[in-house]
């Protein structure tokens, strides 16, 4: 794997039929590039949690990915309600998800902590009423 690759997936809020499709595609791309499975799993889990956040909370969003021989960088940007208190949102178990989301098995307040746990670097920028940008980096060469 020596070539860099980048791309974008568009996400639609409340589209639960296709929720997860972007992360699934990203997983396929990483598999094709021969990235080691444990790294792919971390990237797919982090991307999936971030994607679900967009589907659950936002109107729309996009997932940009950049894969180099050294790292995977994913930027998920949404037009959504924004996060009022990021510190609180990072706490395991804290969630503002409505009941119907919980019935789907999500909204248990583990999303952002899961992303942090599976990535080497994660940053969130959010403006209430405008949207949220979440970026994470996973190093490929570092043993995990």
Partner 1 sequence: MKISEIRHILNAVIISRDEDMDTDIMRAYCADLMSDVLAFSITNSLLITHLTNAQVIRTAEVADIKAIVFVESKRPDIETIAMADGKKIPLLVTGFSMFDTCGRLYEKGLRSQPDTDFFNE
Select 106 or 136, whichever has its Cβ closest to partner 1.
Answer: 106
Contact between 23 and partner 1 per CB under 8 A: yes
Which of 59, 63, 50 minimizes the C-alpha distance to 89? 50
What does the alpha-carbon distance between residue 92 and residue 103 come to, in Å, rounded to a whole number?
A: 18
CB of 119 to partner 1, least distance (A): 13
CB 111 within 8 A of CB 96: no
CB of 86 to partner 1, least distance (A): 18
Cα Rg, the chain, nearest whole Å: 15
Residue 124: CB atoms within 10 A of its CB come to: 18
CB of 15 to partner 1, least distance (A): 11
Which range binds partner 1 by CB under 8 A, 4-12, 63-71, 80-88, 108-116?
A: 108-116
CB of 111 to partner 1, least distance (A): 6
Contact between 19 and partner 1 per CB under 8 A: yes
Q: In what order do the strands lie in the sheet with 71-79?
A: 5-12, 60-67, 71-79, 131-139, 121-127
CB of 12 to partner 1, least distance (A): 15
Which range binds partner 1 by CB under 8 A, 13-21, 66-74, 80-88, 126-134?
A: 13-21
CB 53 within 8 A of CB 110: no
> How far, CA to CA in Å, does 41 sit from each of 20, 23, 37, 76?
14, 10, 6, 18
Per CB under 8 A, residues contacting partner 1 are 16-17, 19-21, 23-24, 27, 37, 41, 44-45, 48-49, 52, 104-106, 108-111, 113-114, 117
């Amino acid at each position: 794997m020596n070539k860099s690759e980048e791309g974008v997936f568009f996400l639609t809020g409340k589209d639960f039929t296709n929720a997860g499709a972007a992360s699934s595609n990203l997983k396929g791309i990483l598999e094709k590039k021969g990235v080691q499975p444990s790294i792919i799993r971390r990237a797919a889990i982090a991307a999936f949690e971030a994607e679900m956040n967009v589907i659950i909370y936002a109107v729309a969003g996009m997932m940009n990915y950049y894969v180099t021989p050294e790292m995977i960088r994913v930027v998920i940007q949404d037009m959504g309600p924004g996060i009022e208190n990021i510190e609180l949102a990072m706490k395991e178990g804290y969630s503002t998800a409505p009941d119907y989301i919980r019935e789907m098995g999500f909204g248990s307040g583990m999303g952002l902590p899961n992303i942090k746990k599976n990535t080497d670097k994660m940053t969130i920028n959010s403006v209430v009423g405008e949207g949220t940008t979440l970026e994470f980096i996973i190093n490929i060469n570092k043993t995990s």
